[in-house]
Structure 1
């Protein structure tokens, strides 16, 4: 069953969507975390159950992250989302340390898609359904400039500022 909750963050009200899972901490695997006004954001659908109690561990981690007390999330993501290429890109993004950035070109190299693959990497990153916890905000342009972010560049800049990452 699909469950959801909202979380009041410094970026606005986040929408958390999950699938009940016997193996997940708290019983829910995260499917989506959307920022307000995000391009392609999840929307609550008929049949979904409001269940904030299912997201207590996730919201505790988000609270600690936004307070500057957590640098690495420990959240179970639902399996099966995205193409094989997108999942490879998302795994590479998950490896960018807190407070650091990587370029789209560096991510393309890590997934074996250097050169022309930079655009495909950007597209895959743009389809990341787990903003904040899968840190696509840490990916910047080759010139150090902030480029695309589904939650908007002000949110990307705010997240990088929170982490102390160098923002040009």
Structure 2
């Protein structure tokens, strides 16, 4: 039904203005055989795809794991902390090698999900003590852009665009 709807909307080509994302491997593998629209393998900070408990997300972001993802997807979509890890206090540390490794495997990288509230930001980007207060999300976007990510998912697109100016 999903592919039929994509076909009806003319969204199956490689230039379709969509990215189909999924945490599981199997659906993306099957879709890659039926459509050319961009596919993104979502990667959580821990655990494994529900349909592949033998394959952890940590294994999927190794250079070899990324090469395997590139067989069926054009994008890898890791939790933002896999690109910009945090220390035990919640401060950003040096970026991981994930973006470079993904690009070397031929994948684009889109991180998820940037939010402006302090509770979702690294400690150095927070403003005040209230968890719901907005911190420096635009600065966080700039720092992520410096890592070479190709795109971001955000619940605050205007702030994300501000960070990219």
User: In terms of Rg, which structure is larger?
Assistant: 2
TM-score (norm 1): 0.29
| TM-score (ref. length: structure 2) | 0.30
Task: Pick 1 or 2: higher relative contact order, CA cutoff 8 A, min separation 6.
Answer: 1
